[in-house]
Structure formats: structure tokens, C-alpha cells
Amino acid sequence: MTTTTRQRRAPRPSWLLLIPALGLLAAVLLVPLGQSLLTSVGAPGFTLEHYASLFTDGVTLTVLGRTVATAAIVTAVAFLLGYPYAYLMTRVGPRLRGVLLVIVLIPFWTSVMARNYAWIVLLQRGGPVQSVFEFFGADDIAFQGSVVGVTVAMSQVLLPFMVLPLFSSLGGIDRRLLLAARGLGSSPLVAFWKIYWPLSRGGVVSGLILVFTLSLGFYVTPALLGSPQQSLIAQLLAQRTTQLLDFAGAGALGILVLVITLTLVAWANRFGGTISAIGAAATTDRKEQR
Amino acid sequence: MTALDEHETANPATPAPAPRRPSRRDRGIDPIPWWLIVIGAVVALYFILPTLIVIPLSFSSASAFQFPPQDFSLRWYENFFTDPIWLSSLGNSFLVATLAAIIATVVGTAAAVGLDRLTGRLAAFARTLLMISLVTPAIVVAVAVYIAFLQWHLTGSVFGYVIAHAALGVPFVLVSVTAALGGFDPKLLRASASLGASPIRSFITVTMPLISRGVLTGAIFAFVTSFDEVVIALFLRSPTFQTLPVQMYNSVTFELDPTISASSSLVVVAVTIIFLVPLLIGSRRTKKR
């Protein structure tokens, strides 16, 4: 304790150490985003017409609605698969837990393009996934070039972001509480619902918000697996920038997406350090094995 | 998946030889339900399936994307290593990722050391700010960076790629170095200062060796983040300079070139090795002790 107060008294060199990092951040993130904001409000003047036209051009709202719906489905799929998996991770022995953790992290370190390519091959017309569905009598499901395919691939890519916060939250729950409830005569379902679920809610909210926000801004997967007729918000943003060169309109749309995302993240952050939890889980996964 | 099943079926039957975990005792009254194991196995398969199919695909002889492959050949590997476009993309990716990782590591380590000594709201805000790129939608950053870099004449330049990717790598360095500093006893610095070392010398001879694992982990993550980054790279590309992920993107959108399967396999294997090396070094080190 005395050391921390002593260090607090000499702050200047410590702040200096932050300057390079903050400078880099400013050059790549803050200044470009600030410029986008200024362009979108028509600097040097001031106008909100670019924002207003987002809501009146007929396209943006449709695409935004489709994006939100896709993100919601992806989030639901990731939750339904991620919760049991994270729960299983807390139940098995340390070695198997290590294996399960490595499996979660594999999509993290498999190249984004390799994964998207694999999904293209798996989901293409006449590909393995479609054959499986045909075998079960579902002939006319198109995976490639449809929202279905995008959802399947996106859920897989984003599942780690659901499992990791859930795992850190579920791992902290004392299972003896459940056994106590069972001992007092409650059924397994009631014990889960009344005791386990409320205790896991922090991790659940972090995971849900994180996956939802990340899927809002997804670009490569929808661009490759989806179709231009059913584009998502990120494709619209890219198209306005590179093809239409409508920097003001793109700026307004980008700022809108950014504000939605950061609001949700800030909200989720109150439930327990989502941002740093992901970074920590992704980088220090080997602590477990030491 | 079989390992998972074996593990679970074997456990309740055999009495634990060394009851290290207390949980084993209550396996009988609190067993893992079978359906949970089934779901776990399916989800695990979903996690690794796309990674696993890439490797057999790369040995296919078909000139279309086809799975399962009919005949085996090495033609896509041959293509990858002889085509100047693929080779130069690979070289560019290495160059950008190496420079970006160096910058991110230096800058991120400095920030982590600085933040470790600071407390209060402003420091917490600075830390959040430095982490923010982890949750900012890549497309929003890419579009903003593209428009700004157009004005600054940085699109298609190595420098532009490097600083954009370095900024994305900083959060990973920050997290892993901060974690390493958590186990660092600041009294050591006072001891070295009392023995006459300057702050810089103390950092190099005392702090650095103790946090080197965290720094290395951060550097690896920064490298891989850059090596794999595709969204910003798509916007910054120029006809004369593009990275490997961008060439892979081109090969599935415009050219339908199966060379991507060889490239994917190489990247998957390379990145796995990159991640395993520190793991192996680490375990050897702990064994020695």
C-alpha cells in the first residue's frame, strides 16, 4: 500500500509513457473518426441532413432492420450453443477443460479468410451442408447467398466471444449452492432457475451484448456468403464509401453504427469489464496450464 | 470428442487414485448429464470443423471449390510458391505484420508500465480508450481510416498499413503486459535504485526479464492480428501493394482461384506453430524449476 501512494506522488514520467500509445490511437482511430463526424455534419457549416436522409432514403432503414435481425439471430444461436458449452467447461477436470478452451480459441487464431473460405465450400450449392439437409428431406434451403448461410458462419466466428465471458462468470459460481438447494428438496430445474441462472446473469449479459455488437459491424462474412440483394449495414457503408464516394453519408452511417455499438458495450461493461475480459481470455489462456 | 466421452464414462467407475480435486467425490450425487456432453461435443465440432476441412481441401486436384476432394495433388501449393502475386502478398503481409508488431509492442509495453503506476479516473479512462479498438466495428474504423488516409496520401503505403495495424495490436500488448506486471514486486525497483541503477537500467535489467513472457505474448498477438487483418487492408490496398488476406479475398470473389486453399492451410499451420512455440518454451521453463 505504501508503495502505491509513493508512486502516485511522481506521476509525470508515467504519463509520458502513455504518449506514444495515445498518439498512435489518435492517428488511426480518433482523428479519422473525428473527421468522419465533422464531414457528416457538413463542416465547416452545420447540417443534420445526412443523418436525416439515413431515415428517409428507404434503403438504410431496411438494411439496418435486416442487420439487427441477423445480429439477434446470431446472438441467440451463440447463446444457446455457448451457455451449455461454457457450463460443461466448468464441470470437467482441468486437463479436459484445457482442451475445451483450446477448441474455443481455435477460431480466434484461424485466419479470418481461411474460415470464410471453408464456410463458402461447406455451404455452397451442392456442398456438404446442403447434401446433409437434402438427405433429411429439406431440399430447397439455399445457404450460400442467403441470410441463413451468413448466420451459420457468423455464429461460429462469434461463438468464442460468447463462451469466454460466460466461462469466466460461470466458473465463479459455487456449485454447492445447487447441491444445497437439491438437498432442501428442489428439482434440478428449479434449482437452476432460482440459483444458478441469476448468478450467471452478468456473464450472460456481457456475452449477449458483445456478440450482438460485433455482428452489427461484420463485413467480410456477409460480403462473401451473403448476396448484394440482402446486404447488411457494413456492406452499405463500404459501398457508399468506395463506390458512391459519398463520404458525408458514409460518415453519418458510420457514426450511427459506432454510437449504437459503444452504447451497448458501455452498458454491458457495467456488468463486469467485458472489453478487458475478452482481451485477457484471449491472451493469457495459458495461465491455466502453468 | 472420443476423448471427451472416454473421460466421462471412465471417471465414475474407476476410484480416483489421487483425489486432487474435491469435485470427484461428489460426482455420484452431481453427475454431468449425458445430453450436456452431446451438446458440448457438437459445439466443439462446430468450432473446429471449418479449420479442419481447409487442409484436405488444399491437397485437392480439382480446379473448383469442392469438398470432399476427389483426387490429391500439390498443384495449389506449387501455384502459391510460384505465382508472383501470391508470393508478393505473403511478403507484404510479413513485412507489415513484423513492423506493426514491433511498434505495437514498444508502444503498448510503455503504456502498460505507465498505467501500472497510475491510479484514478483519468488513468482508467486512458486504459479504456486504448482498449476501445477491440470493440469498435472494423468496418467503421476501416471507412474512417480510408477517408483520412486518402487525404494524407497513406493508402497503399507500407507506413499506412503499419500504423493502422499497430494501433489494432496495442490492446493485446496492453492486456498481456498488464497481467505480467500484476505479479511484479515494485520493491525490486527500489532495491535496484538503492544500489545505484538509473530508472532505465532498472527497467532493462530488472523489470524486462520478469515481464518478458507477457511482452512476448502481446507481440505474438499483435503480429497475428496484423497478419490476419482483412477489413482495413481491403480499403488501404492499391494495385501495387496488397496483403495476403486481401489476395485471399480476391481469390474467392473475382478469380475463384483454389490457390486460397493452399494459402489457408499454410496460414493455419504457421499461426498454430506461432502459438505453440511460447507454450512449449513456457512448459520447458516450468519443468526446469
d(CA A149, CA B121): 44
d(CA A50, CA B85): 40
Q: Please, which pLDDT band fits residue A290 given cuts at 50, 70 and 90?
A: very low
Average pLDDT over residues A127-153: 73
Q: Which of B138, B261, B268 sits opposite A217 (nearest CB)?
A: B138
d(CA B45, CA B183): 36
- Predicted local confidence at residue B186, as pLDDT: 80
Average pLDDT over residues A234-262: 85
d(CA A36, CA A73): 30
Residue B266, amino acid: L
Q: CA distances (Å), B50 to each of A143, A152, B57, B233, in order?
A: 15, 11, 11, 23
Q: And the C-alpha cell for A234? A: 457494413
* pLDDT over 90 (residue A198): no
* pLDDT over 90 (residue A168): no
Given a cut of 70, the residues of chain B with pLDDT beneath it are: 1-30, 63-67, 278-289
Residue B7, burial from CB neighbour count under 10 angstroms (0-12, 13-18, 19+): middle
Among A215, A13, A68, which residue's Cα sits nearest to residue B189? A13
Maximal C-alpha separation, chain A: 72
- Predicted local confidence at residue B7, as pLDDT: 41
Percent of chain A with pLDDT over 70: 85
Q: Please, which pLDDT band fits residue A165 given cuts at 50, 70 and 90?
A: confident
Average pLDDT over residues A276-284: 54
B43-80: burial string, b at 16+ Cβ within 10 Å, e else = bbebbbebbebbbebbbbeeeebbbebeeeeebbbeeb
* Contacts for A234 with CB less than 8 Å, ≥ 6 apart: A67, A217, A218, A219, A222, A223, A257, B137, B139
- Predicted local confidence at residue A282, as pLDDT: 54
User: With an 8 Å Cβ cutoff, are B44 and A175 in contact?
Assistant: no
CB contact B210 to A (< 8 Å)? no
d(CA B14, CA B165): 52
Domains of chain A: 49-284 (1.10.3720.10)
A42-56, A173-187, A220-234, B59-73 — which is least confidently predicted?
Answer: B59-73
What is residue A185's three-state secondary structure? coil
Contact B62, B258 (CB under 8 A): yes
- Predicted local confidence at residue A275, as pLDDT: 56
Among A165, A172, A169, which residue's Cα sits nearest to residue A278? A165
d(CA A29, CA B33): 48
pTM as predicted: 0.82
Average pLDDT over residues A237-253: 83
Among B179, B250, B171, B92, which residue's Cα sits nearest to residue A28? B171
What is residue B241's three-state secondary structure? strand
d(CA B248, CA B260): 6
* Residues in A 36-95 with any Cβ partner in B closer than 8 A: 36, 39, 81-82, 84-85, 87-88, 91-94
CA B27 to chain centre: 37
* pLDDT over 70 (residue A121): yes
Q: Would you call the peptide bond into B278 cis, given omega within 30 degrees of 0 as the criterion?
A: no
Q: Please, which pLDDT band fits residue A284 given cuts at 50, 70 and 90?
A: very low
Q: Would you call the peptide bond into B31 cis, given omega within 30 degrees of 0 as the criterion?
A: no
Contact A106, B14 (CB under 8 A): no
* pLDDT over 50 (residue A66): yes
Which residues in chain A touch residue B264, judged by CB atoms under 8 angstroms apart?
A: 111, 113-114, 117-118
Per the prediction, chain A carries an average pLDDT of 80
CB contact A244 to B (< 8 Å)? no
Q: And the C-alpha cell for B95? A: 513485412
- Predicted local confidence at residue A125, as pLDDT: 73
- Predicted local confidence at residue A274, as pLDDT: 53
Q: Please, which pLDDT band fits residue A279 given cuts at 50, 70 and 90?
A: low
CB contact B167 to A (< 8 Å)? yes
* Contacts for B14 with CB less than 8 Å, ≥ 6 apart: none
- Predicted local confidence at residue A157, as pLDDT: 85
- Predicted local confidence at residue A84, as pLDDT: 93
CA angle A250, A114, B86 (to 5 degrees): 90
* pLDDT over 50 (residue A287): no
- Predicted local confidence at residue B108, as pLDDT: 94
Chain B residue with CA closest to A156: the answer is B47
* pLDDT over 60 (residue A217): yes
CB contact B38 to A (< 8 Å)? no
Q: And the C-alpha cell for A239? A: 459501398
User: With an 8 Å Cβ cutoff, are A114 and B267 in contact?
Assistant: yes
Which residues in chain A touch residue B107, judged by CB atoms under 8 angstroms apart?
A: 20-21, 24
Alpha-carbon dihedral sign for residues B155, B161, B162, B166 = positive
Contact A257, B143 (CB under 8 A): no
Which one of A19, A28, A68 would you mutate to disrupt binding with B, by most B Cβ within 10 Å of its Cβ? A28
